[in-house]
Amino acid sequence: MFQLHALLGSLPLLLTLGSAAPLVEPRQAAATQVVRLSSVENVAVRSNGQILATNMNQASLYTIDPVAKTSKTALSVSGASGLSGIAEYAPDLFAVIGGKGIYKVDFTGAAPKSSLIKTITEASNLNGLATFDNSTLLVADAGKGVVYKFDVNTGAYSVAIQDPTMAPSGAIPFGIDGIKYKDGVVWYTNIFKNSFHKIAVDAVSAKATGSVTTLWTNLMGDDLCFGPNGKIYVATNGRNSLVEVDPAVGKPTSVATVTGSTSCAFGRTEKDANVAYVGAGQGVYAVTIKV
């Protein structure tokens, strides 16, 4: 999701952050900055260990070397004015949201290339993106409060999930934000309702097979990621932290302070499999998680 500090200023909506229940103090080492980049929106990690980062104000997709601590533009996505959600749906094949379009970014060749898969013309504000299987995505529309099932091969899409917990609210019409899918369950945040939810879905249709379970309603949540230890990690944006959630318990515990945290993704090499890379207002940060 976008950077609240830059966008909202002193809007009364920010006052809702103060009502959130206090979190347990961070129990891990402080986050360390990997690279400095302005307003990182979302992050993903390639199998070779390189980090990919998006920015909603630019069409550039950045690649980051977490060892050398350097960054460069991997490519500019033609047709997009800014990028938000990103997800790998097959080895080195990524989908990225650019406005109302879903783009394919292919890293399998000598040089990366991008192409538009399909524009969701009726979309209001696409933001969150999750891999459902190796040819299907779940796309969160924060403006409409729905989740689309999207076929990366054909561009076919339809509304798979719609629930009041996904609906927008407040001065900015922005609801469902972060979204991830795993083992028959969709996990998602609603950023301005300060809430985190899960819902069981059919493994083929992605339609809901049960009712929504709400894990909390008192902590801002942006994007999220799965850790190697079976836990879920949620970036809290205006609450400036990365929190850990045990799926069996559903309550957040702060693990690091990261100002303006928007997203996270874990390393994929032996050396950084327990490192959460966190996108934030001032760049990408590394947080080592004790497994």
Structurally, how many domains does the chain consist of? 1
Overall average pLDDT of the 252-266 stretch: 97
- Give tens-digit pLDDT for 213-258: 999 999 999 999 999 999 999 999 999 999 999 999 999 999 999 9
DSSP the chain: ---HHHHHTT-GGGGGGGGSPPPPPP-SPPPEEEE--SS--EEEE-TTS-EEEEETTEEEEEEEETTTTEEEEEEE-TT-S----EEEEETTEEEEEETTEEEEEE-SSSS-EEEEEEE-TT-S-EEEEEEEETTEEEEEETTTTEEEEEETTT--EEEEEE-GGG--BTTTBB-EEEEEEETTEEEEEEGGGTEEEEEEB-TTT--BSS--EEEESSS----EEE-TTS-EEEE-BTT-EEEEE-TTT--EEEEEE-TTB-EEEE--STTTTTEEEEEETTEEEEEEPP-
Strand order in the sheet with 224-226: 224-226, 232-235, 241-245, 252-257
On average, the pLDDT of the chain sits at: 92
Task: Please tell me the predicted confidence (pLDDT) of residue 291.
Answer: 72
Confidence of residue 8 (pLDDT cuts 50, 70, 90): very low
**Sheet containing 86-90: order of strands:** 86-90, 93-98, 101-106, 113-119
pLDDT above 80 (res 3):
no
What local confidence, expressed as pLDDT, does residue 166 receive?
98
Which pLDDT band, with edges at 50, 70 and 90, does 11 fall under?
A: very low
Per-residue pLDDT, 290: 85
**pLDDT number for residue 61:** 98
What is the residue range of 163's domain? 4-288
Answer whether 58's CB lies under 8 Å from 82's CB.
yes
Q: Does residue 284 have a pLDDT over 50?
A: yes
Tell me, what's the pLDDT at 30? 80
Least confident of 5-19, 31-45, 173-187, 268-282: 5-19
Tens digit of each residue's pLDDT (9 = 90 or more) over 133-179: 999 999 999 999 999 999 999 999 999 999 999 999 988 889 999 99
Q: What percent of the chain has pLDDT over 90?
A: 87
pLDDT per position as a tens digit, 40-58: 999 999 999 999 999 999 9
Task: Kindly state the average pLDDT of the residues 14-21.
Answer: 40
Q: Which two tokens stand for residue 176?
A: 């469902």
Give the residue among 290, 265, 211 at the shortest CA–CA distance from 49.
Answer: 265
* Selected residue with higher pLDDT from 111 and 10: 111
> What CATH number is associated with residue 176?
2.120.10.30
Asked if 239 and 219 touch (Cβ cutoff 8 Å), the reply is yes
pLDDT reading at 25 higher than 80: no
Contact 220, 239 (CB under 8 A): yes
Query: Residue 114 phi/psi, 5° resolution?
Result: -125, 155
pLDDT at 22 over 60: no
**Other Cβ atoms within 10 Å of 94 Cβ, number:** 22
